[in-house]
Structures are given as structure tokens and as C-alpha cells.
Amino acid sequence: MLDLNTPYAISGSDIAFEVFDRDVIVLDMGNGKYYSFSDGGSAVWMALVDGVAPRDIVAFFSHGETLPSFVESLCDLGLIEARLDLPPVAPGPDLVAKLSDAKEAPDLTVFDDMADLFVADPIHDVEEPQGWPVVKQAQ
């Protein structure tokens, strides 16, 4: 069950993300899947990875009723985890503005079309004469 008072953090070193303007793309290098968010999902992601507890996100987010299921989805996908050892952080003014300006409910889209390329090991998993990204066949 989701604890709205607990801060969350990225679940491990296999999770990377990049912010492009107001859009967030998250990559799970362990399975090669990447994730794109709605504007509300991007704002919530930024708040969560900054250490803002969900209860503090709801205060500024017009789609607060959807927040628990969205955070649970992120946890189920292994992108974030509860961090009982960290104190919650108050959202800064820029983050409050992003949360307040979000027009869409938090949502994410999962992409796995390039998973093989993301998880390929270009040093060890290729045939030297053919180059990367030709993956060696299992023997």
C-alpha cells in the first residue's frame, strides 16, 4: 500500500532519465525499456525524484486523485522505490509551477522497440568484423 508521507527515489543505477524542456524520458538499462510521460506524469516524476512526498505533490497538483495509482505503477515497474531513510523535501517554486500548470493526469507510455540495442554489450556481444550492433548468436 502506498504511503503518501514517504519520499521516493530512483530505484537503482540501471534507471536513468533526461528532461527535455518539460518532458521526461526514463530509461531502464536493465531491461532496455524506456518510458515517456504525460505533462502531469513528467511533473510528478520530477517531484518524486527530488524527494517530495506524494502528500506534498497533491497540494499543488490538480490531478491528485490519480497520483496514488501512478506512483504504484512507477514502483511496480521498478523505476522508483520508497525511501524510509530519507526525510521528505518541500517542493521548490519551479516544481510547484510545473505541478500547478500540468494539464493532463499523470500517465506513462512504455516503449520496448529498442530494448535489444539498449541492453547489448558492444564490447563483448558483437562479432569484430561486422561491428556494432550486430549481436553474437547464443551458442
Integer Cα distance of 5 and 116 in angstroms: 38
Residue written as cell 529498442? 114
> What's the pLDDT band for 85 if we cut at 50, 70, 90?
very high
**Structure pTM?**
0.82
Note if the bond before 133 is cis, omega within 30 degrees.
Answer: yes
> What's the pLDDT band for 135 if we cut at 50, 70, 90?
low
> What's the pLDDT band for 97 if we cut at 50, 70, 90?
very high
- Is residue 61 within 8 Å of 71, Cβ to Cβ? no
Integer Cα distance of 52 and 50 in angstroms: 6
- Supply the pLDDT for residue 138: 57
